[in-house]
Amino acid sequence: MADAPAVSIVVLSYDRPEELAQALASVVAQTVRDREILVVDQPSPTSERIAAVVAAQPEARLISTSGNLGFAGGINVAWRAARGRFVYLSEDDIILANDCVERLAAFAEREPDCGMCAGPIFDRADGRILSAGGEVTLRGVFRATLRGRGERDTGQFAEPADVAWLPAGAALARRDVLERLGGFRDEFFMYLEDVEIALRIRALGLRVRYVPGAAVQHSPARGGAAPPPDVEFHKLKNLYTLYALHAPARAWPAFVARYGVMEGLRSLGRSRERAWLHLRAWGWVLLRLPRLLGERRVLRRTARAARGER
């Protein structure tokens, strides 16, 4: 692209104008200068106030979506509108250290096999580590953990490291990699979309990297009510979809026994609503299983080719 910036910094916004004002101020204060700033707002009762927050920062450009696309869909709108060679993905509750994006872009420039990278995420309230990159296990029991979560920072994550996944609300990706992958899976809406895209990045033979020093602060939600049914539905069907696409076949019997049969029986004992969500999520995946298995075969071939195997 003619006159394209080196980095596009995109911020996903939804119904938090006060938080957005602080997040956007930290974006404008970034030391990287060859950049553009995009804010993608998904419609909410505070969209007019959000538009005013963005208008107060002349460098920022507002993009409004026609509906709530969730994290995955909203971020896809953002990076597709971006022009930079690198795209920094952020949200309205993330405060960036002034040199965060510059550090990540410089790191990715030095390491061309780095498909996505991110620095440490700290809890804005107590300063503890929320993430130093994540690990994931796709066996009979699913585990996706974040290194250092809840720990004080004592320098234990002072070196770059390969990780399995990164929270995508505070990460830098190569635009050409996002284009090659088609971005996040729109149907994931929210939950596990960052784990899933990281697995596809690694299937290309690229690395997902933790970069010390490129710090951000996050204000995570504190307790509260259970997630609404639609959100719970996405959590369930995204987990099942993740296994259909990426888990080794030998893990499927134990996974289905645990999350299909046993969880189904537990759901019946809890409430009809929970049981219906469980059945709805499995039904969603089973209806799309032929397509998902076709995508799985492509991913497996891509991973073998990246390793130089036949």
Does the pLDDT at position 63 exceed 90?
yes
pLDDT digits (tens, 9 = 90+) for 241-260: 999 999 999 999 999 999 88
Does the pLDDT at position 2 exceed 80?
no
Which pair of structure tokens corresponds to residue 274?
């929970």
pLDDT digits (tens, 9 = 90+) for 275-285: 888 899 999 99
Q: What is the rounded average pLDDT of the residues 202-227?
A: 85
Does the pLDDT at position 208 exceed 80?
yes
Distance CA 121, CA 132 (A): 7
Cβ neighbours of residue 175 closer than 8 Å, sequence gap 6 or more: 8, 79, 82, 84, 85, 86, 87
Q: What is the rounded average pLDDT of the residues 211-238?
A: 82
pLDDT of residue 226: 60
- Domains of the chain as residue ranges with CATH: 7-218 (3.90.550.60), 229-306 (no CATH)
Distance CA 141, CA 134 (A): 17
Using 50, 70 and 90 to split pLDDT, how confident is the model at 310?
Answer: low
pLDDT of residue 260: 85
Q: Which range is least confidently modeled, 68-72, 126-130, 145-149, 214-218?
A: 68-72
pLDDT of residue 263: 82
Which pair of structure tokens corresponds to residue 81?
């509108």
Q: What are phi and psi of 225, to 5 degrees?
A: -70, 160
pLDDT top residue among 4 and 24:
24
pLDDT digits (tens, 9 = 90+) for 87-125: 999 999 999 999 999 999 999 999 999 999 999 999 999
